[in-house]
């Protein structure tokens, strides 16, 4: 019984992390069909936001709030990651709807830029970036208007950006000689996010040790799930999102502002990635490469669950968590100690963490051979986007 509870709890715990990471993706990929390779980096942005919130509250007038900084980090991360996602949608993804391969490549590029950004960003770098964007944007305003209607305007446009970049680099370089401004904000090193005291211990219940951090993540997952399903099922904007998902052209004809809907969907999906980022700071390291650890698993969960089905994602995440735990921890050997030797040695072979991953991937591949649309395929008539 204890073994069963132990397995159940740990499986759910692993699954809840997968679930959180995949939830935002289920919204973006599942509903909009956008393959967002930068999803992991949006998680990283959420984790870095947690770090900033933690440091803001560590000392100074708000010190009293430090024990609950993690609760304040959740909305902050949702907002910061959501806005980052919104920017991404407005600048890149908007141009690439219906072109999944280009989206994949472009968002992968964005993910690399985001990773390098958190490594390099310093005050000098940031001011240089601001200056370049400002110069580039204002250039048309401070030059004669007819220049911008000539056949050689594209050259001018490119030229103005080259100048803007050069100005930014010069300023950044100049400011960089000031030591305080040159100091990177985060640097390439991993940063230290410390769980508050009340999340570091564990609770013993019916012989199962439940780390508080895991319980917190489980609760957070449940909350996020309830919020998202309420939003999609009950709220006016959620209904519009579902309408656009099912039939974009028809929705547009009926007066639903599809562009706003796209932007909103992306904002919510990215914000959820931010919340997942807060959760993973309780478990693992926080560094520029954080996203890469979760992106593959998150896609796997969404694909296994079936596109466009929130419940599919939920079931797939917890199923994967439990299967991964049962294989990886070798619990099967304990449940059935007298199994035949050949079977026993096979299971023992797969009962290491890395081999468990291999086996899980194989199982998913086999499953998708028979059910390519996942556990809960979308039914009904759909217009191909």
Partner 1 sequence: MANAPSQPLFRVLSGAAALATTLSLVACGGGGGGETGGAGGGFDGEVKVGILHSRSGTMAISENTVAEAELMAIDEINKAGGVTVDGKKLKIVPVEEDGASDWPTFAEKSKKLIDDDKVAVVFGGWTSASRKAMLPVYEAKDHFLFYPIQYEGQECSKNIFYTGATPNQQAEPAVEWLLKNKGKDFFLVGSDYVYPRTANTIIKEQLKAQGGKLVGEDYLPLGNTEVAPIIAKIKQALPKGGVIVNTLNGDSNVAFFKQMKAAGITPANGYAIMSFSIAEEEIAAIGPEYLEGTYAAWNFFQSLDTPASKKFTADFKAKYGDKRVTNDPAEAAYNMVYLWKLGAEKANSVDDNKVREALIGVSFDAPEGKVTVQPNHHIEKLVLIGEVQKDGMFKILENKGFVKPVAWNQFVPETKGYTCDWTQKRPDAGKFKM
Specify the residue for token string 């410390």.
194
The answer to whether residue 318 forms part of the interface with partner 1 (CB under 8 A) is no
Interface residue with partner 1, options 95, 150, 159, 366 (CB under 8 A): 95
Interface residue with partner 1, options 52, 56, 105, 133 (CB under 8 A): 133
Interface residue with partner 1, options 29, 48, 51, 97 (CB under 8 A): 97
**Residue by residue, what is the 3-state secondary structure of 241-302?**
HHHHHHCHHHHHHCCCCHHHHHHHHHHHHHHHHHHHHHHHHCCCCECCCCCHHHHHHHHHHH
Query: Residue 201 CB, nearest distance to partner 1 (Å)?
Result: 7
Residues 291-310: x/- map of binding to partner 1 (CB under 8 A)? -xx-----------------
As a whole number of angstroms, the distance between CA 113 and CA 97 comes to 21
Specify the residue for token string 């809840």.
16
Nearer to partner 1, 172 or 232 (CB): 172
Of 62, 55, 29, the closest CA to residue 295 belongs to: 29
Interface residue with partner 1, options 205, 250, 334, 383 (CB under 8 A): 334
Q: Do 164 and 136 contact (CB within 8 A), yes or no?
A: yes
The answer to whether residue 256 forms part of the interface with partner 1 (CB under 8 A) is no
Query: Residue 362 CB, nearest distance to partner 1 (Å)?
Result: 15
The answer to whether residue 41 forms part of the interface with partner 1 (CB under 8 A) is no
The answer to whether residue 136 forms part of the interface with partner 1 (CB under 8 A) is yes
The conformation of residue 85, written as its DSSP 8-state character, comes to: H
Interface residue with partner 1, options 65, 68, 113, 250 (CB under 8 A): 113
Residues 147-186: x/- map of binding to partner 1 (CB under 8 A)? ----------x---x--xx--xx--xx--x----------
Nearer to partner 1, 191 or 220 (CB): 191
Query: Residue 299 CB, nearest distance to partner 1 (Å)?
Result: 16
Interface residue with partner 1, options 259, 319, 364, 377 (CB under 8 A): 259
Query: Residue 373 CB, nearest distance to partner 1 (Å)?
Result: 27
CB environment 306-316: b (16+ within 10 A), e (fewer): bbbbbebbbbb
Nearer to partner 1, 116 or 235 (CB): 116
Q: List the helix and strand counts (H, then E) for the chain.
A: 17, 2
The answer to whether residue 283 forms part of the interface with partner 1 (CB under 8 A) is yes
Interface residue with partner 1, options 38, 84, 282, 298 (CB under 8 A): 282
Interface residue with partner 1, options 39, 214, 240, 309 (CB under 8 A): 214
The answer to whether residue 138 forms part of the interface with partner 1 (CB under 8 A) is no
The conformation of residue 29, written as its DSSP 8-state character, comes to: I
The answer to whether residue 6 forms part of the interface with partner 1 (CB under 8 A) is yes
Torsion-angle region of 206 (φ positive above 0: left; ψ -120 to 50: alpha; else: beta) = left
Interface residue with partner 1, options 92, 181, 227, 375 (CB under 8 A): 92
Take residue 166 and report the two structure tokens written for it: 């050069």
The answer to whether residue 36 forms part of the interface with partner 1 (CB under 8 A) is no
Torsion-angle region of 35 (φ positive above 0: left; ψ -120 to 50: alpha; else: beta) = beta
Nearer to partner 1, 299 or 325 (CB): 325
Burial of 353 by CB count in 10 Å (0-12 exposed, 13-18 middle, 19+ buried)?
A: exposed
Backbone phi, psi, residue 211, to 5°: -60, 135
Q: Do 329 and 321 contact (CB within 8 A), yes or no?
A: no
Secondary structure (3-state) at 209: strand
The stretch near partner 1 (CB under 8 A) out of 27-35, 305-313, 338-346, 351-359 is 351-359
């Amino acid at each position: 019984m204890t073994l069963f509870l132990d397995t159940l709890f740990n499986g759910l715990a692993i699954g809840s992390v997968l679930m959180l990471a995949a939830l935002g993706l289920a919204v973006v990929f599942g509903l909009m069909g956008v393959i967002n390779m930068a999803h992991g980096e949006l998680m990283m942005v959420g984790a870095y936001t947690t770090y900033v919130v933690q440091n803001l509250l560590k000392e100074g007038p708000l010190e009293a709030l430090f024990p609950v900084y993690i609760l304040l980090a959740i909305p902050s991360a949702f907002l910061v990651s959501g806005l980052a996602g919104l920017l991404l949608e407005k600048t890149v993804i908007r141009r690439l709807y219906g072109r999944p391969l280009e989206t994949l490549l472009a968002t992968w590029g964005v993910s690399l830029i985001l990773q390098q950004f958190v490594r390099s960003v310093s005050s000098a770098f940031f001011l240089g970036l601001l200056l370049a964007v400002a110069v580039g944007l204002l250039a048309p305003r401070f030059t004669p208007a007819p220049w911008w209607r000539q056949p050689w305007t594209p050259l001018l446009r490119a030229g103005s950006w080259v100048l803007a970049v050069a100005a930014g680099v010069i300023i950044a370089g100049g400011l960089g000689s000031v030591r305080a401004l040159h100091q990177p904000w985060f640097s390439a090193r991993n940063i230290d996010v410390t769980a508050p005291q009340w999340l570091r211990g564990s609770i013993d219940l019916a012989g199962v040790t439940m780390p508080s951090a895991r319980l917190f993540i489980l609760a957070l997952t449940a909350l996020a799930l309830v919020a998202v399903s309420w939003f999609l099922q009950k709220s006016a904007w959620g209904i519009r999102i579902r309408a656009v998902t099912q039939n974009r052209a028809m929705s547009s004809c009926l007066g639903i502002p599809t562009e706003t809907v796209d932007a909103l969907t992306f904002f919510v999906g990215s914000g959820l990635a931010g919340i997942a980022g807060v959760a993973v700071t309780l478990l693992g390291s926080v560094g520029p490469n954080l996203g890469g650890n979760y992106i593959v698993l998150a896609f796997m969960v969404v694909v296994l669950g079936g596109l466009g089905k929130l419940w599919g994602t939920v079931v797939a995440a917890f199923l994967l968590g439990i299967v991964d735990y049962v294989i990886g921890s070798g619990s099967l050997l304990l449940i059935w100690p007298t199994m035949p030797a050949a079977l026993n040695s096979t299971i023992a072979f797969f009962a290491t963490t890395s081999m468990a991953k291999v086996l899980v991937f194989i199982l998913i591949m086999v499953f998708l051979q028979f059910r390519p649309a996942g556990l809960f395929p979308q039914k009904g008539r759909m217009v191909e986007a």
